[in-house]
Amino acid sequence: YWVETPVPQNWTIWCSVNNLYAASVCETDPEKLEFFTKEFVRLASRFTSLCFDDGYCPEGPSYYTKAGLMLFRMLDLLNKMVPGSMEKLYAEPKIRNIFEFVAKVRIGNDQLISFADGSPLMLTNFSVLMPAAKAINSIPLLRFGAGKQSDLGATVNGDYLVSSLALLFDYPEQ
């Protein structure tokens, strides 16, 4: 359902980026990898086209880790596959706003202005947030992540464990 849902939400981009990661690691046939890449980029484009220009996430700010940051993960992976290919896209105002959205609804520490079914609290996903901040040179995102510690083991699912381990490889130099 996430592939052709009428209104793509966080599942669309979240599943797309995870499938693209799997394809980029497992697929050895260049033509098949190209097919998968184009398909997941198409889905990401649908997701992004329906995002608001100000970066607003209609599912609530805590979904930012499964929406805006997953869009960054996809673009970052594409940039690693073809170095320098995402620089112009990172400069696009709508893309910047999607990445910076969470910093705009922050009202203190990890507390957010909440709406929809999103939580007013957000665990900081450093392995994506800080590289996103660096990629677009975002002072608000850098401030959002400044001075916080990783949430390794803070949740009952593996999302933050995977992200925390990714810090070993993708955290930008200070």
Identify which of 34, 118, 133 has the alpha carbon closest to the alpha carbon of residue 76. Answer: 133
- Greater confidence (162 vs 134) lies with 134
Is pTM, for the whole model, over 0.85? no
* Structural contact between residues 2 and 12, judged by C-beta atoms closer than 8 angstroms: yes
* Structural contact between residues 141 and 133, judged by C-beta atoms closer than 8 angstroms: yes
Model pLDDT for residues 127-144, shown as the tens digit of each residue: 788 889 999 999 988 888
pLDDT of residue 32: 97
Amino acid at 98: I
Task: Give the separation between CA 125 and CA 15, rounded to whole angstroms.
Answer: 17
- Token digits for 91? 């400069």
How big, in percent rounded to 5, are the helix, strand and coil portions of the chain? 60, 5, 40
Task: Give the separation between CA 30 and CA 16, rounded to whole angstroms.
Answer: 18
Model pLDDT for residues 85-111, shown as the tens digit of each residue: 999 999 999 999 999 988 887 776 666
